[in-house]
Structure 1
Amino acid sequence: MHLYDSELYMQDVCAVASMIEVQELADASVLISGGTGMIGSFLVDALLYADKHYQANTQVYILGRNEEKARARFADYADCPQFHFIKQDINEKVVGNPALPAKIDYVIHAASNTHPVAYASDPIGTITANVFGTQYLLDYAKEADCKRFVFLSSVEIYGENRGDTDKFTEDYLGYIDCNTMRAGYPESKRTGEALCQAYRKQMEMDVVIPRLSRVYGPTMLMSDTKALSQFILKSVKQEDIVLKSEGTQEFSYAYVADCVAGILAVMLDGKDGEAYNICSKDSDVKLRDVAKQLADLADKQVVFDLPDATEQAGYSKATKATLDTTKLRTELGFVPQYDMKTGLSHTVQVLREIM
C-alpha cells in the first residue's frame, strides 16, 4: 500500500493544499532540495494536490541524489507534467546542471541530515549540506533570478536553554559548545542562516527562514533514529516504547502537515530577511509524555534502556527547547491545525495502513 492510498493521509494533504494562496503560485515554479525527505515529500504532495484540485499550475522541481528512490516515492506523478526530478547532490555545485530550469520563482532548501546516527556517522556531510549546499543553492537561485529563497532552519540553532527564558523567541541567542562533534548540526544551521543574510546584503536576494521544531509524521524515513521516530515505529508495530532517558526533556513538536503549511505561509507572506518559529498547537510536551501517548495507541508499556555510544554521541543535550510562535501568528496570521494527540494518532494510523 502506498501513502496515496491512505484516505487519512490524503485528508491531511488536502487540508494543507486548501490553505495555499493559489493565486500567488499560479504559473510559478518551486525547486525543493531534500524532496524525498519527511518534510520535502509532503511539500511536493501538497503543491501537486493544489495544482490538480485548485488549478495552481505550479511547476515542482525536486533535487535528489537517488533517482530510483525518488521515482518510487513519487510513482503517482510519473505522468504529471508539473513534476520534475533532477539528479543533484547539493554538496556539489548546482549551477551548471543542464537539467535545472533557467528561471525559478522559489527555492526551498530542505536537504539536511536530521537524526542522531546521521550526525554521528556522517558529521562532515551534516555540516557541508547546511553550509556548502546552502551556498550552491543560493548561487543557483541568484543566477535563476529567484523571487525568494527559503532556508529551513531548526530549533537547534537556539542552543541550550540555561533557564533565562521559557520559550525561544526569534531573537534569542543560546549557548552551543562548538568544540564537539554534535555541534556540527546546530552550528552549520547557524552558518546557513548567516550565509542567507550575506547573500541578501551582497547579492540583493530575498530570503526567509522558517525555524522548525521537532517534526514528525507519516512521511518520516524508516531509517530515522530520532527518539520520537523510534517511539512511533514501536507504536506502529504495537511494541513497548523504549525510552533511553528519564524523559524529562520538554520540546516543541510539529506534525508534518502543520510544518509544511507554516513553511508555505512563510514563503508566501513572510518578511524578507526574517526568521519564523514553527510548531503545532498544544505541542510543548515532555518526552516521557510523548512515549506514554504512543504506548497507549499501541496498548503497550514504556520501558527504559540506555543508548549505546554511537546513539549517545548524536543526541541533543537540550533539556528544554520550546518555541514561541507569536511572530508567525500575529504577523502572518498562521494558525496550526493539529495538536500532539491528533498528529501522533494520524501518524500511527497511516503508517499501520501502509506498513
Structure 2
Amino acid sequence: MKIYEHKLYQEDLEAVCDFDLQWEKFQNSSIMISGATGLIGSFLVDVMMQKNLANHLNCKVYALGRHERKARERFDHYYGLPQFRFVVCDVNEPLQIEDISGIDYVVHLASNTHPVAYATDPIGTITTNIFGLKNMLDFSVDHQVKRFAFASSCEIYGENRGDVEKFDESYCGYIDCNTMRAGYPEGKRCGEALCQAYIVQKDMDIVIPRFARSYGPTLLKSDTKAMTQFLQKAVNEEDIVLKSEGMQYYSYTYMADAVSGLLTVLLRGKCGEAYNIADEKSDIHLRDLAGIIAKSVHRKVIFELPDQIESAGYSKATKARLDSTKIETLGWKAQYDIHQGIRRTIEILGQCEK
C-alpha cells in the first residue's frame, strides 16, 4: 500500500484541508515548494493537491527536489496532471527553470535536518541554509512572488539559559559557534537575518515559521534523529535504543500539525515575523518518548552509547520547549497530541511500503 492510500493518512489530509484558512488565496495561483520529498514537504504537496482537486482551485504546484526517481515513486499519482510539476534542481545552484512566468507563493523547506547529515556534510548544512535560501529569494524577486515562507527551526534558540520555561519568538539562547554542530542552528539564524535583508532591500513579503521537532509517517529512512530512529525500531517491532540518559525536554509536532501551522503562517502571518509551531501537549522528555513508543509495540527501552559520528551531530540543548501563543493568535491549534501522533505514525508505516 502506498502511504497516500492509507485511511489514516487520508484522514490527516482531510483534517488539514478542512482547517479554517483563507484557501481562496490559492485560487488561480501557483506555489513552489523546495524540499518537496522531505517529511514536511511531501505532506504539504499532498495537502495542496488534495485541496486543489477537491475544490477546483486551479493552483499550480511546483515541487522542487534533486531526484526525479524519488519524486516519481512518491508523487506518481500526480504526474500528468496539469496542476502538478516536479522540477529537478539543487537549490545550492542558481535556479534556472524554464516555462515559468510567475509564482505566487514560495515555501523553502530544503535543508539538512538530522544529526548524521550535520556531521558528515557540515558545509552542505550551512550552504543550503544560506546560499540555497539566497538562490530561492533571488528567484522569487525575479518572478515577483507575492509571499515567501522560510522554514526555520527550534534550534535557532540555542541552549536554554535557565531563565525561561519556554522559548518565545524573541528568545536568544547560547550557541557555541566554534563547533561543527553549530552549522545548522547558525545557518538558520543567518537565514532569518537574510530574509530581513530582502524584506528591506528588495521589498519582499516574507514570513518565518519555526518548526518544533517534527515527525510522522512521511519520515525519511535516511533520517537519524532520535524520534525517527525510535519510530523505525517500533515499526520493525524491535527494542527502542536510547543513546543518552534521555533527560532532554523538547517540543514535538506531528506532520499534519506542522503543515497546518505552516499554511497558517503563510496565509495569515505578518511580514517579517517568526512564529513557533508547537503545542504543549506534545512536550515530552526523551526517555518518556522512548517509553511510549516501546510500550505501543510491546517492546522495551535499552541504553546504548552513540558512535563518534552520531554524537558529533547531536544537539547539546537539554531543554527546548516552544511557546505557541503567537501562532495561536492567528487561529491555529494543534489537532494531535504526542500519543495520537505516535500511534498514527506507527500504524501507517507498519502497513505501507517501506
TM-score category, normalised to shorter length: over 0.9
- Corresponding residue number in structure 2 for 1:84: 85
- Corresponding residue number in structure 1 for 2:65: 64
1:92-120 superposed Cα distances (whole Å, 9 cap, x missing partner): 011x3325x22100110000000000000
1:188-243 superposed Cα distances (whole Å, 9 cap, x missing partner): 00010000000000000000000000000000001110000000001111111000
- Distance across 1 between alignment mates of 2:30 and 2:234: 38
TM-score (norm 1): 0.98
- Corresponding residue number in structure 1 for 2:323: 324
AA aligned to 1:2 is K
List 4+ stretches of structure 1 deviating above 3 A: none
AA aligned to 1:243 is L
2:5 equivalent to 1:5: yes
- Distance across 1 between alignment mates of 2:305 and 2:57: 49
Gaps of 5+ in 1: none
Aligned residues of 2:125 and 2:183 also touching (Cα < 8 A):
yes
2:75 equivalent to 1:74: yes
- Distance across 1 between alignment mates of 2:59 and 2:160: 41
- Corresponding residue number in structure 2 for 1:203: 202
- Distance across 2 between alignment mates of 1:177 and 1:199: 27
Aligned residues of 1:281 and 1:338 also touching (Cα < 8 A):
no
- Corresponding residue number in structure 1 for 2:340: 342
2:105 equivalent to 1:114: no
Structure 2 counterpart SS, 1:282: helix
- Corresponding residue number in structure 2 for 1:159: 158
Structure 1 counterpart SS, 2:91: coil
- Corresponding residue number in structure 1 for 2:22: 21
RMSD: 0.9
Structure 2 counterpart SS, 1:312: helix
- Corresponding residue number in structure 2 for 1:42: 43
- Corresponding residue number in structure 1 for 2:350: 352
Aligned residues of 1:281 and 1:337 also touching (Cα < 8 A):
no
- Distance across 2 between alignment mates of 1:177 and 1:102: 43
State the identity as a percent.
55
Aligned residues of 1:22 and 1:54 also touching (Cα < 8 A):
no
1:151-210 superposed Cα distances (whole Å, 9 cap, x missing partner): 000000000002011000000011100000000000000010000000000000000000
- Distance across 2 between alignment mates of 1:232 and 1:186: 24
- Corresponding residue number in structure 2 for 1:266: 265
Aligned residues of 1:259 and 1:280 also touching (Cα < 8 A):
no
- Corresponding residue number in structure 1 for 2:182: 183
- Distance across 2 between alignment mates of 1:291 and 1:213: 18
Aligned residues of 2:79 and 2:85 also touching (Cα < 8 A):
no
Offset at 1:281? 4.7
Offset at 1:45? 0.2
Aligned residues of 2:59 and 2:83 also touching (Cα < 8 A):
yes
- Distance across 1 between alignment mates of 2:269 and 2:318: 30
- Distance across 2 between alignment mates of 1:81 and 1:21: 23
- Corresponding residue number in structure 2 for 1:308: 307
- Distance across 1 between alignment mates of 2:310 and 2:41: 25
- Distance across 2 between alignment mates of 1:328 and 1:168: 13
Q: How many residues align?
A: 352
Q: 73-82 or 264-273: which moved more?
A: 73-82
Q: Which runs of structure 2 are paired with 1:269-280 in the superposition (5 Å)?
A: 269-280=268-279
Gaps of 5+ in 2: none
Structure 2 counterpart SS, 1:295: helix
- Corresponding residue number in structure 2 for 1:124: 123
- Distance across 2 between alignment mates of 1:2 and 1:230: 21
AA aligned to 1:336 is A
- Corresponding residue number in structure 1 for 2:228: 229
Aligned residues of 1:283 and 1:340 also touching (Cα < 8 A):
yes
AA aligned to 2:10 is M
Structure 2 counterpart SS, 1:242: strand
Structure 2 counterpart SS, 1:303: strand
- Distance across 1 between alignment mates of 2:126 and 2:53: 37
AA aligned to 1:312 is S
AA aligned to 2:60 is Q
Offset at 1:79? 2.4
- Distance across 2 between alignment mates of 1:310 and 1:102: 44
